[in-house]
């Protein structure tokens, strides 16, 4: 494999683990709520695993201000 192919694969791999995604959140009384309705938590947990609609889901990362 040439260097260009290696660089391309390396970039793809690093993109798969890029944690700079923006999570929009309207919960203004959450500790992690930031400007422009963005969540500033390092990671989030959403469940439960049996949810069948958006109204069934809950962000368990929520922390009251």
CA–CA gap between residue 62 and residue 65 (Å, rounded): 9
pLDDT at 20: 66
What is this structure's pTM?
A: 0.62
Q: Which residue has the higher pLDDT, 13 or 64?
A: 64
CB atoms within 10 A of CB 33: 18
> Where do the domains of the chain lie?
3-59
Element housing 5 (H / E): helix 3-16
């Amino acid at each position: 494999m040439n260097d260009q192919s290696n660089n391309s694969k390396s970039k793809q791999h690093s993109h798969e683990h890029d944690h700079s995604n923006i999570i929009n959140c309207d919960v203004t009384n959450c500790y992690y709520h930031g400007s422009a309705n963005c969540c500033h938590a390092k990671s989030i947990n959403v469940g439960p695993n049996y949810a069948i609609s958006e109204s069934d889901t809950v962000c368990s990362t929520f922390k009251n201000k």
